[in-house]
Structure 1
Amino acid sequence: MRLGLFVLSNQQSYGLGQLGGSFFLGLRYDLRMISILLVTMLILGSIPPLHPFSSKRGKKIWMTILGIATLVALFIFSVDFAHYAYLEQRLNASVLNYLEDAKISMGMVWQSYPIIRMVLGVLLVAALLIWLFNRTHKVVSKQTFTGTKRSRILSFIICFLIGGFFIFGRFNQYPLRWSDAFAQGSDYKAYLALNPFESFFSTLKFRHSTYDEKKVKETAPVIGSNLHFTPTENPLNFTRTVAPRAGAVTSKPNIVLVICESFSAYKSSMFGNPLNTTPFFDSLCQQGIFFDRCFTPTYGTARGVWATITGTPDVEMPKTASRNPAAVDQHTIINNFNGYEKFYFLGGSTSWANIRGVLTNNIDSLHLYEQEDYKAKKIDVWGISDKNLFLEANKVLAQQEKPFFAIVQTADNHRPYTIPEEDLTEFKKVQAPADSLARYGFESSDEMNAFRYTDFGYRKFMEAARKEKYFNNTIFVFIGDHGIPGNADALFPHSWTAQRLTTMHVPLLFYAPGLLAPQRVHTISSQVDVLPTIAGLSNITYRNGTLGKDLLDSATTGFAFVFDPDNSMTGVVKGNYLYRKQLVTKKEELVSIINNDPVPNDAAHAAIIHEMGVLTDALYETAKFMLLNNKKATR
């Protein structure tokens, strides 16, 4: 199974010779899972009625257990392969989140994967293996085994100790941990070493998390220093009132915030990708304020929407904050846009990940538009097409007499990569050589064309909006909900691929011809900074009680908190480096994001590691606190 994963997924030009450590570590993980089953058989099978050879009942019981275990193992590996193909991560406990939206999840899976063939394949292989078990059982049953009681006891002890050693995993004080896989030097090597059982059951223990009040108080000065505000006498009070700043737009502008599905930076034209997938959006970036080093705190649409709207990184593990009833009450800066109409447009259903509850509970007087509110027809599990979503939203916004704050959330750049027949006359699919697709971030022409179709949707939206009276006094903001894992070595330093920065690097654009002077900004920024920056541009006084900052404020320090719930890592991108820390082992890592040079092992860089470690801990502990303590004001 591991070799199969290597053959199907190796996008990083690793040869087998470079992956020996991963395969050996993987063998140890596999031996642990196998030994758990075998030691159980050894102990229970030693009971005479359960003996697999001397008892007919024992034979039936163990053949049944092995058959079930085989079927379950093959099913888990099938799900794991699909999970890796989709997210480039081994199966982990966060997959349980999809069960809470089972209908939508199954619809996406059914439309994206050959489910019937996969099920038939699992059943066929399981039948073959079960037949093999029965054949070998017959062969062994015909053999005669002799030995004294003492030799049987000795063999039992030896087998038990060998199995116990494989379960523990090493000659050491501490057992083999799933997080040891991430000492391989890249996330790809780590995922190759893991198996789905190890990664799934090991991440289950992190399903419930809370904050440490003492740590939050201790790190409050670090937060204040980096966000440039002075904490109050109460170190747990992070709320500050921000007054209008110089350079703001004084015409009470409309706001249209577009949360772009899977808008991965390295796949786009703005970063030099030769496949030129987003030429129109690239032209918008040249006319607006474009932040080219923006990162989402973590991976996933629900987490991205949460961070954008609340200003707090979603650090729930492995569930998302939107699913946590204790966190559903959140203040959002959107409510400080007094006198504005509030809109949210989604082509499908906001029941996904309880996003509807987050939106309607926290945004005052929200006008929520979903699939059933449009004339356009549904095209797949995600609802109507992005192009039609933009056009439907434009019709509503064109009728407004009051200023408005509107959010449009897209979905087409997502499996099953549906492009409507109605658009194929104007939108032309293209084909690219397989080696070019792999080199520049795409697994197939279907994925690339879906990415191109997002650019088509942005163009049709802007063409329609320019014809409306609201356009000239509107700030359009585009931000990716998350990136996509993949090989970006042709465009970025290797750390962006090996440490999976590609999953969090997204474009951030503020576009308002006539209101904002164009500029390309290299300041490191985050999804949580979007609303404070919009508010700063809009000349309003707003309340901020989270980790977001106004990116256009001259006092702002550029950094971005990053969080990997599936691998229990926290970190921060700041300056020329990415810093990461394992929550379990506390192992630290510092890599360059500007070149492939190894980080020197000297006092200066030890100081950088310490500084970024302190900031990471402060941001992580404070984010956990804010999820439960960023309450909206009493109305």
Structure 2
Amino acid sequence: MFDSAFKLMLRRLGLLLLLYTLLRLIFLIFNYQEFSEAGAGEVLLAFVHGLRFDVAAILIINSFFILLSLQPIGNALHPLYQRLLKWVFILGNAPFIALAVVDVEFFKFIGRRTSNELLSITGDITDQVGQLLGYYWYLALGFVLLVYGFARTYPKLREPAFITGNVWLRSLRLLLVAGLVVFGIRGGLQLKPLRPSHAFVLEPASLGHLTLNSPFTLIKGIGKTNLEKKHYFNSDEELLQALQFNPQKYAHPAAAPAKQNVVIIILESFAAEYVGALNNGQGYTPFLDSLAQEGLLFRNAFANGRKSIESLPSILAGVPSLMPEPFITSPYQANKLYGLGTLLQEAGYQTAMFHGAANGSMGFNDFARRAGVAQYYGMDEYLDELRSRDFDGQWGIFDEPYLQYVAQQLTEFQQPFMAALFTLSSHQPYTIPAQHKGRFPKGELEIHESIGYADYALRRFFATASRQPWYQNTLFILTADHTQKSINPAYQSELGHFRVPLLLFHPGKRLQRINPEKITQHADIPATVIDYLHLPTDRLLPFGHSVLDSANQGQAIYFNGNDYVLVQPETVTKLQPDDELQYYTFPDLAPAPSPAPEAGNNLKAQVQYFRNRMTDNTLYFWKE
């Protein structure tokens, strides 16, 4: 069994295992802050535990190579055949090495290892490949050096040799090796095959991301089409009681509908960390800070996801990102959905969305329509004669000219209207117009200057809007799609990775005073708009609540890639993959002195509702 061909194969796979360990070390170095709470011993255990996932990924990717190496007929040690094997080995593994290198930086944006969402945004990546390579040149260089070193150290046959053993023995060996390969891919003899959640066994839980490798999570994400149902509650009545949800709450408003305009502004990457009004004046958003003094700013607001593509379903439809794949690209994207646009159109509103990127980017245009937004304004709709002048060279139209365009377009709308506006200049590579370079503070992170520019563009938007006839009759809701890179230790925690601003501002009305410390989230926005406008509906989902409801204590829910997390004023509850609950104090995340059964039941109810109703396409089951 242990002839030259077999030993060569083991040495080659062993080289790959060493390379995966090196990639994990690089991943740790580039994302050290994420794992800074772990001691050296815990980090070492993560590396050791990670070998299990490395073996599984290597065996999946190299199954064909193993078959060719041990094929029972002919001389597998012939020089020409060995050269063929080398190319199969290198070319078969190079794409996955590239994925691991890319994830070194991509992890900072999404907070978890890449899964099959990468396959859903290949179009955007292809469109931006030039600028991405230019900006992340060091990753491209690292990939080239790794593959070059991999090829140079590829174990070769030291001296001419011939295959020994007859065909039957070699065939038997191949069958035995195939069994071992299946065993390795499966991860052992445990009941369930190895999956990403098995990596989260160490404390702190963030080490699970270090344990995993990106090829494994991508492969495991392929073909995932169904959420596993949960059965914590046996009836709809028990479920709704645990949710503390009444679908009829807004069906019969006490007051007459208010024909107010609504403008929802989603600020690209405006993490709470960058907002001065949330950090004792230390920030890069002077205009947003001034607006906060006149409006209602919630200090404990959370995004329901870590990516732009995850934010829109939460904000426009109250659908938080509670599964590994974004709703927009998931198998459930065609589910019945009553978005905010749908509800407002029925009330006579004109509805529109503005995003200065290329039409089709992240599927925003398609989802906006699914959410009832009748008109979509992307880069294609921008003025032809100004497009080349105002194009940022990367993603779309610079924020300053685009927001001016939006203000003018809104003036042409029939009131009342609802418009969603998504900015983009504070997106990597954080480009600002040449005439504004040097105008805004550079800060400590490369994003800071572009945050200052986007805030300036927002100031100019409001200056123009304030002169329009619709301005005094408009509720503005401002938030961010997700967080970004962090320099402030106060935000370098799991909760900090989801904290965004949420501001309500009405230039013509004084807003009801609500506790600014109340916990809020993206999924609260649809219910807040419905509540503010006094519109009758029984088609809101249970995940969000009006932030203007003083009787509701406020909460936020998110999925961190492994656990479901419910944030409430005094308690943070985690639901783990094994259905165990953990309780922590808010906001310091210290272990809670005692369980909070009501919070645990509420979290389980939200998870069961999301998974089961999403799978069955019965999100609004009381309407069926």
The TM-score range, normalised by the shorter chain, is 0.7 to 0.9
Task: Verify: 1:414 aligned to 2:442, yes or no.
Answer: no
Instruction: Report if aligned partners of 2:57, 2:215 keep a CA contact under 8 Å in 1.
Output: yes
Aligned equivalent of 1:126: 147
Aligned equivalent of 2:9: none
- CA change 1:175–1:335 in 2 (3 A) is closer
Task: Verify: 1:179 aligned to 2:197, yes or no.
Answer: yes
- CA change 1:364–1:478 in 2 (3 A) is closer
| 3-state SS in 1 of match to 2:305 | coil
**Corresponding residue to 1:390 among 403, 412, 419:** 403
**Corresponding residue to 2:595 among 577, 592, 605:** 605
Task: Verify: 1:283 aligned to 2:293, yes or no.
Answer: no
Instruction: Report if aligned partners of 1:484, 1:502 keep a CA contact under 8 Å in 2.
Output: no
Instruction: Report if aligned partners of 1:104, 1:381 keep a CA contact under 8 Å in 2.
Output: no
- CA change 1:520–1:466 in 2 (3 A) is farther
| 3-state SS in 2 of match to 1:137 | coil
Distance across 2 between alignment mates of 1:336 and 1:468 = 26
TM-score (norm 1): 0.80
Which residues in structure 2 correspond to 1:7-406 (within 5 Å)? Answer: 7-12=29-34, 13=36, 16-34=40-58, 45-49=69-73, 52-53=76-77, 55-56=78-79, 58-104=81-127, 106=129, 109-110=132-133, 112-114=135-137, 118-119=139-140, 122-133=143-154, 136-139=155-158, 141=159, 167=185, 169=187, 176-186=194-204, 188-204=206-222, 207-209=224-226, 218-223=235-240, 226-229=243-246, 238=247, 241-245=250-254, 252-272=259-279, 275-315=282-322, 317-321=324-328, 327=334, 330-337=337-344, 338-360=347-369, 362-363=371-372, 365-366=374-375, 368=377, 370-374=379-383, 375=386, 377-400=390-413, 402-406=415-419
| 3-state SS in 2 of match to 1:422 | helix
Instruction: Report if aligned partners of 2:398, 2:425 keep a CA contact under 8 Å in 1.
Output: yes
Aligned equivalent of 1:441: none
Distance across 1 between alignment mates of 2:127 and 2:620 = 30
Distance across 1 between alignment mates of 2:546 and 2:412 = 31
| 3-state SS in 1 of match to 2:203 | coil
Aligned equivalent of 2:566: 572
Aligned equivalent of 1:530: 525
Aligned equivalent of 1:428: 439
- CA change 1:19–1:612 in 2 (3 A) is farther
Q: C-alpha displacement at 1:481, in angstroms?
A: 1.9
Q: Which amino acid aligns with 2:584?
A: V
Q: Which amino acid aligns with 1:209?
A: N
Which residues in structure 2 correspond to 1:432-451 (within 5 Å)? Answer: 432=443, 437=444, 444=445, 446-451=446-451
Aligned equivalent of 1:233: none
Instruction: Report if aligned partners of 1:345, 1:369 keep a CA contact under 8 Å in 2.
Output: yes
Distance across 2 between alignment mates of 1:396 and 1:410 = 16
Distance across 1 between alignment mates of 2:405 and 2:118 = 33
Instruction: Report if aligned partners of 2:262, 2:476 keep a CA contact under 8 Å in 1.
Output: yes
Q: Which amino acid aligns with 2:285?
A: T
Distance across 2 between alignment mates of 1:509 and 1:88 = 25
Aligned equivalent of 1:235: none
Q: Which amino acid aligns with 1:31?
A: V
Distance across 1 between alignment mates of 2:187 and 2:231 = 36
Instruction: Report if aligned partners of 2:584, 2:591 keep a CA contact under 8 Å in 1.
Output: yes
Distance across 2 between alignment mates of 1:578 and 1:63 = 52
Q: Which amino acid aligns with 1:261?
A: E
Aligned equivalent of 2:6: none
Q: C-alpha displacement at 1:43, in angstroms?
A: 6.2
Instruction: Report if aligned partners of 1:228, 1:556 keep a CA contact under 8 Å in 2.
Output: no
Distance across 1 between alignment mates of 2:371 and 2:460 = 31
Could you tell me which runs of 5 or more consecutive residues in structure 2 were left unpaired when the two chains were aligned: 1-22
Distance across 1 between alignment mates of 2:525 and 2:362 = 22
Aligned equivalent of 2:19: none
Q: C-alpha displacement at 1:530, in angstroms?
A: 0.8
- String of CA shifts for 1:131-158, please: whole Å, max 9, x gaps: 432xx4242x358999999999999999
| 3-state SS in 1 of match to 2:153 | helix
| 3-state SS in 2 of match to 1:344 | strand
Distance across 2 between alignment mates of 1:145 and 1:203 = 39
Aligned equivalent of 2:586: 593
- Paired residues, what number? 591
TM-score (norm 2): 0.81
Distance across 1 between alignment mates of 2:157 and 2:68 = 20
Q: Which amino acid aligns with 1:202?
A: K
Distance across 2 between alignment mates of 1:284 and 1:457 = 14
CA RMSD of aligned residues (A): 4.0
Distance across 1 between alignment mates of 2:331 and 2:522 = 21
Q: C-alpha displacement at 1:121, in angstroms?
A: 5.2
Q: Which amino acid aligns with 1:94?
A: E
- CA change 1:126–1:147 in 2 (3 A) is same
- String of CA shifts for 1:390-430, please: whole Å, max 9, x gaps: 21111223355633222211112211111112333xx7133
Q: Which amino acid aligns with 1:4?
A: I
Q: Which amino acid aligns with 1:506?
A: V
Distance across 1 between alignment mates of 2:74 and 2:109 = 43
Q: C-alpha displacement at 1:91, in angstroms?
A: 2.5
- String of CA shifts for 1:174-208, please: whole Å, max 9, x gaps: 66543222222345422222111222222335x21
Aligned equivalent of 1:620: 610
- String of CA shifts for 1:458-477, please: whole Å, max 9, x gaps: 22222222233332222111
Q: Which amino acid aligns with 1:201?
A: I
Distance across 2 between alignment mates of 1:607 and 1:323 = 32
- String of CA shifts for 1:258-308, please: whole Å, max 9, x gaps: 122222223322331775122321222222122222223223222211221
Q: C-alpha displacement at 1:588, in angstroms?
A: 3.9
Aligned equivalent of 1:469: 469
Distance across 1 between alignment mates of 2:587 and 2:407 = 40
Q: Which amino acid aligns with 1:358?
A: F
Distance across 1 between alignment mates of 2:52 and 2:332 = 40
Instruction: Report if aligned partners of 2:27, 2:104 keep a CA contact under 8 Å in 1.
Output: yes
Q: Which amino acid aligns with 2:25?
A: L
Name the % identity: 20
Aligned equivalent of 2:555: 559
Q: C-alpha displacement at 1:7, in angstroms?
A: 1.9
Instruction: Report if aligned partners of 1:223, 1:619 keep a CA contact under 8 Å in 2.
Output: no
Distance across 2 between alignment mates of 1:613 and 1:416 = 37
- CA change 1:22–1:148 in 2 (3 A) is same
- CA change 1:421–1:42 in 2 (3 A) is closer
